[in-house]
Amino acid sequence: MRETRRNIAVLGSTGSIGRQTLDIIAEYPGLFNAWLLVARSSADLLIQQARQFRPHMVIIADENYYEYVRDALSDTDIEVATGSAAIAQAVTAPEIDTVVTAMVGYSGLESTIAAIKAGKRIALANKETLVVAGELITALLENSDSVLYPVDSEHGAFYQCLVGERMQDVEKLWLTASGGPFRKLPKEQLVTVTAADALKHPNWSMGAKITIDSATMMNKGFEMIEARWLFGIEPRGIEIVVHPQSIIHSMVAFKDGSVKAQLGLPDMRLPIRYALGLPDGRLASDCRKMTIEDMASLTFERPDFDKFPLLTTAYSAAHTGGTAPCVMNAANEIAVGAFLKDKIRFTDIYDIIEKTMASIAPIEHPTYEDYVACNAEARQLAASLI
């Protein structure tokens, strides 16, 4: 194990993944140091985190809160900045070793690109980065010293199952899904469910946006696209399987008929801890360990593509490629935001995404500027449909 502490940048420190990442940093004070904390608009929590962890810098992305955060930390030597450009610049600091990208949605793309160009180790929790611009990110990684480690429990599971294996021996990736809060709800009743209903995830404690994505199963579509770029597997080689207990986090099937699975309790601190420990090894912890009883009754079923049509949408976008997934993600972010504010029905999320995608022709082999333009166009169109 290394003798010096790693300086960590936590992008999205006030969100669910960010808070749990700081739990891990606090758990291993001799190994990790929170050097940079970034939040979108949760100013009070960011100030609290800054006082606890004493980072070199904090950034509040929403400029409306800059003076408030700056004044609150004026009695410290913590540098305070604001705006997306400041984030992209800060992650390139030579002192930073690892960047945990836990910002929600499209907002994580610019800073992740900057970190890759700067050759940073990246613990990727922002799946939308690869959903939106997987082709671009993959190309950048090929020409950088940067290394990307997945933080999503499913992709961390794939990573662990593939250690020591040859990709040409892989036949299929089985991507597990809990099924969300509406797994057993009849399709015709989905039209009446509320945001409060959708936020009641059976297994995981997550932020509001990702919890709604789990309820629509859009999140699993995103994860399929993320896996496609992380592991170089075509979408047809990635099969989604519903596993309600969330104990098996994913499985890899090999051409000789064998299958590897990674098991663990549904606790995001496990994949975060694993990603932060790489490449040195696993970090010992006194967290609750899994027992035989936890594995006593594991079940699997096929997802209902008719009840959750965004799974089909995601596979279609992955097959089309180019900017199609970018448009899908942008429309989803707008629709989910509207649903959380009770402006649309749950099933309207599907319609807004489909209509937006049907109206914007995909661009093959897009540049970064193409992604930016398509994201803006799709958001504007989706908002007009609400």
Residue 48 lies in a domain: yes
Residue 21 lies in a domain: yes
What lies within 8 Å, CB to CB, of 217 at 6+ separation is: 177, 179, 180, 303, 308, 310, 311
Q: Provide the pLDDT for residue 127.
A: 85
Pull the structure tokens for residue 84. 């997306």
Does pLDDT of 203 surpass 70?
Answer: no
Beta bridge partners of 53: none
Residue 348 neighbours by CB distance under 10 Å: 16
* One-character DSSP codes across 323-337: THHHHHHHHHHHHHH
> What is the three-class DSSP state of 273?
helix
> What is the three-class DSSP state of 252?
strand
Does pLDDT of 106 surpass 80?
Answer: no
Does pLDDT of 197 surpass 50?
Answer: yes
Q: Provide the pLDDT for residue 1.
A: 46
Q: Are residues 156 and 143 in the same domain?
A: no
Residue 315 lies in a domain: no
Domain range for 328 is 321-386
- Mean of pLDDT over the chain: 94
Q: Provide the pLDDT for residue 200.
A: 80
Q: Are residues 135 and 11 in the same domain?
A: yes
Residue 208 lies in a domain: yes
Q: Are residues 137 and 57 in the same domain?
A: yes
Q: What pLDDT digit, counting tens, does each position of 35-69 carry?
A: 999 999 999 999 999 999 999 999 999 999 999 99
Residue 322 neighbours by CB distance under 10 Å: 18
What lies within 8 Å, CB to CB, of 148 at 6+ separation is: 116, 122, 124, 141, 230
pTM reported for the whole predicted model = 0.92
**Residue range 234-258: mean pLDDT, rounded:** 96
Whichever domain contains 365, its CATH number is 1.10.1740.10
Q: Are residues 286 and 184 in the same domain?
A: yes
Residue 232 lies in a domain: yes
Q: What pLDDT digit, counting tens, does each position of 330-345 carry?
A: 999 999 999 999 999 9
Q: What pLDDT digit, counting tens, does each position of 133-169 carry?
A: 999 999 999 999 999 999 999 999 999 999 999 999 9
Does pLDDT of 202 surpass 80?
Answer: no
Q: How many domains does the chain have?
A: 3
